[in-house]
Chains A and B, each alone.
Chain A
């Protein structure tokens, strides 16, 4: 049997249109991360439900004692008051833990699709097709955005379902706004990871860079809250623009700023990635 006889070399082959290729990259990325919504969203949702279940007893135990905490400390760690279930859920999950987890998932999606694939040699075949590097980067960024949305939806749904079971629910609109805020923050760090992957060749280095910036920004935000004179510093922290959406409602300009910054960082990452060698 011959595979050659009926086939003639073609004079030219047009490269497929970018949106079609982007869809293929995103589909592949989502397939690679298809378990993330359950693996990450499940435990986070269970944790949220537990927080809601514990709220009545915590409220009784801490009633009055929180007033004795220093104001700066309460402000810094989102434990201003546990008078409402939203305040308690914000302190336990939405002030640090959930944003941290969502940002990690977002950065991991990007790092593994770009630097990780490069490290493992997977890109040598993929980039021998008409795939533009910027499309690969855009696909990784879009995959991160969708994957994190899936994680947060599952986490939010489980949290709300758990709350219904114990009779401590958070208003759906308020929870949705808070999840949107976390999503925007995670997207910002997906942008950071995209820029890092545009410059660096190893997934661990990309993740480390993103995680370092995340920690630094969180510290800057806390310092800004604690030290009145350093309040202006908070402007450079993504956590300042994330705010406390579960307590105060969604900060729409802050969300827009985070999303636009994420898109700009991703675009800068794509530009760097176009210019650098694939190791």
Chain B
């Protein structure tokens, strides 16, 4: 498996203000890679730096093994991009935009634009200024995909789409992966990322704080434990156990709490000193995991 995107200590500052700081990551060919973070965390700055719209302050990025600055044109010939705030001349129709972009790419026609437009129910013939945000977003998706690029960079791709179209988009991404394309999906929609992505990078305050496989992330971090005991248990006894947090007692005999995956063994052994009537372990959702990454920063602020 070869590397399609690689950044090495990529840093971008704006007139002294933070953009991104020391971002190092790699995305493999054929991978759907999620880029998670709240607004202002640095997702769009990273994407725009990869596209050479922004020039890095320090560090480097390569796509397809080519330097993002020196070989930008060759790189851009092989990718499709949906910007976070997709915009185009409101006087022009989607078809006119696609014709222009096809000419810039040296393509003889509009590729699979008609098929994609049909799938997304996109109106290619009305001026984009007359379309709703969701319908403009569909044009944005068509222009990112119509030339069958090797790499898709999608920044908040489902913003404004109705649930039916979101579903359609998820199917298209799955097909793109099947085709062998690589997808960098920047989003703050955790369900979408959990559903579509193989791996995810989490960015906070411009710094990358985790890069993990989705499955590993949800498996390794912590578990929700729901336990019912034959006798009442003291909440402090549970709180004293290593790795245990957020203890909630329900009537004294039932308890629910979170436990770090690494400390699970100790918790089970401690519970075994009581008579256990029922025990249930649950993996947390990506959203809960995401919040654990952000909670310290929020507490600090």
Contact = CB atoms under 8 A, between A and B. Distances in A.
Interface of A: 1-5, 7-10, 12-17, 20-21, 24-25, 27-28, 32, 117, 120-132, 275-278
Given A3-B116, A121-B83, A277-B54, A130 B105 contact: yes
The 5 closest A-B pairs by CB, nearest first: A16-B106, A4-B175, A121-B87, A24-B103, A128-B81
Most buried by B among A1, A27, A131, A132: A131
Given A10-B150, A277-B53, A1 B119 contact: yes
Contacts of B80: 128
B118 to A, nearest CB: 7
Interface stretch (B33-41, B69-77, B232-240, B272-280): B69-77
B104 A129 contact: yes
Contact of B76 (A2, A5, A117, A128): A128
A252 B178 CA distance: 64
A128 B85 contact: no
15 contacts: A3-B115, A7-B148, A8-B180, A10-B150, A13-B150, A15-B77, A16-B105, A124-B85, A125-B101, A125-B140, A128-B83, A130-B104, A130-B106, A131-B76, A278-B53
A4 B30 CA distance: 13
A9 B151 CA distance: 9
Given A2-B175, A15-B73, A7 B112 contact: yes
Given A1-B118, A7-B112, A8-B180, 12 more contacts: A4-B175, A5-B179, A8-B179, A10-B150, A20-B103, A25-B104, A27-B103, A124-B87, A125-B86, A125-B140, A127-B52, A129-B105
B179 A129 contact: no
Given A24-B103, A32-B89, A129-B101, A5 B175 contact: yes
Interface string B40-62: 00000000100111110000000
A12 B77 CA distance: 8
Contacts of A277: 53-55
Nearest to A112: B89
Given A2-B175, A4-B179, A7-B179, A125 B76 contact: no
Nearest to A11: B150
Contacts of B112: 3, 7
A24 B98 CA distance: 12
A132 B73 CA distance: 7
A131 B145 CA distance: 17
B79 interface: yes
B286 interface: no
A85 B73 CA distance: 55
Nearest to B52: A127
Nearest to B71: A15
Contact of B179 (A9, A12, A24, A117): A9
A109 to B, nearest CB: 14
Most buried by A among B55, B140, B179: B179
A28 B116 CA distance: 24
A22 B143 CA distance: 20
Interface in B131-166: 140, 143, 145, 148, 150, 153
B181 interface: yes
A275 B73 CA distance: 15
Given A3-B175, A7-B148, A125-B88, A15 B74 contact: yes
Contacts of B181: 9
B172 interface: yes
A277 B54 CA distance: 5
Nearest to A123: B53
B78 interface: yes
B85 A10 contact: no
B55 A1 contact: no
A13 B103 contact: no
B88 A122 contact: yes
Contacts of A32: 89, 91
B53 A130 contact: no
Given A15-B77, A125-B83, A4 B150 contact: no
B243 to A, nearest CB: 44
A31 to B, nearest CB: 8
B97 interface: yes
Interface string B88-110: 11010000010011011110000
Contacts of A10: 78, 148, 150
